[in-house]
Structure 1
């Protein structure tokens, strides 16, 4: 996989997902990060994930790759050159305990292989993204289906906010939020990522 610099993630960016977890809908993008050790490409292999720290939830997302630094007035297609589909894996029980204590989420979000991603493809432009759903298929059945048009904060809002608060440059990637349908992962679950009807990648979860 190409060199990735920073991994940013947007939490609660779909209203139905926020509702299913009993969370308030945010009024500004809710950003967190993952270390680069979290990143792994889905190319048909088994991926090891923690199976002894409570429920492990999958969260399918559209992932964008940043081509150049943000500049006010630039178009989305000037800043984003590639995209992929991915999963932000979350140790939900661990996250719930961290929330109760007011602690950061890193232990629940940043473990190795917690940022699964397909190979990146050329960014087709915003209109093509609005016209195409992405789907996570688990064991042959649809688990999640989303469209970037349903987000609370659109891609340019996310990019501008990320740049303002953390900086943004070539090689950074952003997980843009997950639609409703997150659930626990079991050992041996097989996941496939669909862009429209096209399979972009797959893997099997091995809980250890």
Structure 2
């Protein structure tokens, strides 16, 4: 696995997902970040998540990895090195309380192992992405499915926005938003990260009072 630097995440990038959580649809890209300790590759192992902070929800997303420094006018095929399927794990009750107070979401989004990512595969180009779906299987049942054609903000807009406001360079990854269908995980759940009918990564969830990356 190549070095992962910054982890950016796009919130509320599918209208149906915003609706299911009673959130307003943003008028410009809405981003947050996760610490690098949140990153873990799903390669069939058991992954520990905090079991003492309320419900943890899965949010399945297309993940892109940046392969070179951003330059104004750069195209997707020039800057995206590869792609993966990921899960943005969220402490939902914690997030709801933070939202009520107007606080940042870090406590709800940035805990160790909260950014689970499959193996990376070559970026196939935007047309191929639109012809294929990403999805999550929980214990063999499909619980989420999405296609980037339903994004509110497309990949080019996300990359340009991220670069202008935060900087963007080799090794940065972007979780590009989750479709509707988010839900809770429990200890023992077997999660499979799917690219059409191919399994790119899988893991077994273990909820624990002690979690470390």
Q: TM-score, normalised by structure 1?
A: 0.99
- The equivalent of 2:180 in structure 1 is 180
- The equivalent of 1:72 in structure 2 is 72
- The equivalent of 1:11 in structure 2 is 11
SS at match of 1:18: helix
Distance, in Å, in 2 between the alignment partners of 1:51 and 1:148 is: 32
Deviations along 1:40-77, one digit per CA (max 9) or x if unpaired, are 00000000001110110000000000011222222110
Aligned length: 208
SS at match of 2:96: helix
- The equivalent of 2:211 in structure 1 is none
1:26 Cα offset (Å): 0.3
Q: TM-score, normalised by structure 2?
A: 0.96
Distance, in Å, in 1 between the alignment partners of 2:130 and 2:95 is: 31
- The equivalent of 2:202 in structure 1 is 202
Query: What is the alpha-carbon root mean square deviation over aligned residues?
Result: 0.6
Aligned pairs for 1:101-116 within 5 A: 101-116=101-116
Distance, in Å, in 2 between the alignment partners of 1:114 and 1:87 is: 8
Aligned pairs for 1:1-208 within 5 A: 1-208=1-208
Distance, in Å, in 1 between the alignment partners of 2:148 and 2:197 is: 16
Deviations along 1:130-187, one digit per CA (max 9) or x if unpaired, are 0000110001100100001110000000000000100000110000000000011111
Distance, in Å, in 2 between the alignment partners of 1:24 and 1:12 is: 8
Which structure 2 residue ranges, 5 or more long, are not aligned?
A: 209-213
